Chains A and B, each alone.
Chain A
Amino acid sequence: MILQIARKDLKVILRDRSSLIFIFALPLVFMGVFGAAFGRSGENAKPMVVSVLVFNGDKGKHGKELIEAMRTVGLKPELDTQGSTTLTERMKKGEKPLGVIIPEDFSQKLDTATTNALDRTGKIVEARVQVLVDPAVPQVAGMAQGALSGATRSVAGTVFARQLEARFGTSPASGSQDIIALDIKKTNEGLGTELKKPRSVGDTMIPGLAVYFVFFLANGVAATLITEREQGTLRRMLSAPVSRFQILAGKMLARGLMGILQTIEMFTFGVLFMGLHLSGSIFGITVIALTTIFAATTLGMLIATMGKTLEQIQGMITLVMVVMGLISGCLMPREFLPETLQKFSYVTPHAWALTAYQDILLRDRSLLSTLPNLMMVMLFGTGFLVLALRRFRYE
Chain B
Amino acid sequence: MTPSLVSVEKVKKRYGDLEAVKGVSFEIQRGEIFGLLGSNGAGKTTTISMISGTLSPSEGQVTIAGEDVSRGSLSVKRAVGVTPQDLAIYPRLTGRENLEFFGTLYGLKSTKLSRRVDEMLALVGLTESASRMAEEYSGGMKRRLNLAAGLMHSPQILLLDEPTVGVDPQSRNHIFEGVRELNGRGLTLLYTSHYMEEVQALCDRVGIMDGGELVACDTVKNLIAGMGGSVIEIGTDAPANTEPLLQELRAISSVQEVEFIPIRGGEETEKSDKDVLFASGHSPMFGTLRLRAGQPNQILAAVINLLNRENAPIHHLDIKEPNLEDVFLKLTGKSLRD
Binding site for B on A (CB under 8 A): 1, 4, 8, 11-12, 15-16, 231-233, 235-242, 395
Contacts and interface: CB of A to CB of B under 8 A. Distances in A.
A239 B80 contact: yes
Contacts of A239: 52-54, 77, 80, 82
B82 A236 contact: yes
B54 A235 contact: yes
Contact of B102 (A1, A12, A15, A240): A240
B76 to A, nearest CB: 9
A236 B77 contact: no
Given A11-B97, A12-B92, A231-B87, A237 B55 contact: no
Contacts of A231: 87-91
B102 A236 contact: yes
Contacts of B90: 8, 12, 231, 233
A239 B104 CA distance: 13
Contacts of B106: 240-241
Contacts of A15: 92
A251 to B, nearest CB: 13
Nearest to A238: B54
Interface in B92-144: 92-93, 97, 101-102, 104-107
Given A239-B77, A241-B77, A233 B89 contact: yes
B12 to A, nearest CB: 17
A235 B84 contact: yes
Contacts of B80: 239
Contact of A236 (B74, B97, B149): B149
A232 B146 CA distance: 11
Contacts of A235: 54, 84, 88
B292 interface: no
A5 to B, nearest CB: 8
B146 to A, nearest CB: 9
B86 interface: yes
Nearest to B101: A8
A233 B88 contact: yes
A242 B54 CA distance: 13
Contacts of A241: 74, 77-78, 105-107
A238 B40 CA distance: 26
Nearest to A243: B72
Interface of B: 52-55, 74, 77-78, 80, 82, 84, 86-93, 97, 101-102, 104-107, 149, 153
Nearest to A234: B88
A1 B105 contact: yes
Given A8-B97, A231-B91, 9 more contacts: A8-B93, A12-B93, A15-B92, A231-B89, A239-B53, A239-B77, A240-B106, A241-B78, A241-B106
Contact of A237 (B53, B86, B105): B105
Contact of B93 (A1, A11, A237, A240): A11
Residue from B77, B97, B105, B106 whose CB has the most chain A CB atoms within 10 Å:
B105
B86 to A, nearest CB: 5
Contacts of B91: 231
Which 3 pairs of residues, A with B, have the shortest CB-CB distance?
A232-B88, A240-B105, A236-B88
Given A240-B153, A241-B74, A4 B87 contact: no
Given A232-B87, A236-B84, A241-B78, A395 B55 contact: yes
Residue from A4, A8, A15 whose CB has the most chain B CB atoms within 10 Å:
A8
30 contacts: A1-B104, A4-B104, A8-B90, A8-B97, A8-B101, A11-B97, A231-B89, A232-B84, A232-B88, A233-B88, A233-B89, A233-B90, A235-B54, A235-B88, A236-B82, A237-B105, A239-B52, A239-B53, A239-B54, A239-B77, A239-B80, A239-B82, A240-B77, A240-B102, A240-B105, A240-B106, A241-B105, A242-B105, A395-B54, A395-B55
A395 B13 CA distance: 15
A90 B252 CA distance: 108
B209 to A, nearest CB: 21
A243 to B, nearest CB: 10
Given A8-B101, A235-B84, A239-B77, A16 B92 contact: yes
A227 B191 CA distance: 27
A129 to B, nearest CB: 63
A167 B13 CA distance: 97
A4 B105 contact: yes
B71 to A, nearest CB: 13
Nearest to B150: A236
Contacts of B107: 241
A150 B89 CA distance: 68
A131 to B, nearest CB: 57
A16 B133 CA distance: 13
A224 to B, nearest CB: 11
A395 B86 CA distance: 13
Nearest to A235: B54
Contacts of B102: 236, 240
Residue from B77, B91, B104, B107 whose CB has the most chain A CB atoms within 10 Å:
B104
A17 B82 CA distance: 31
Contacts of A238: 54
Given A4-B101, A8-B101, A241-B106, A232 B86 contact: yes
Contacts of A242: 105
A232 B102 CA distance: 13
A239 B90 CA distance: 16
Residue from B86, B87, B92, B149 whose CB has the most chain A CB atoms within 10 Å:
B92
A237 to B, nearest CB: 6
A395 B55 CA distance: 8
Contacts of B52: 239
A239 B107 CA distance: 14
Nearest to A236: B88
A308 B179 CA distance: 35
A4 B82 CA distance: 21
A8 B86 CA distance: 21
Nearest to B82: A239
A35 to B, nearest CB: 35
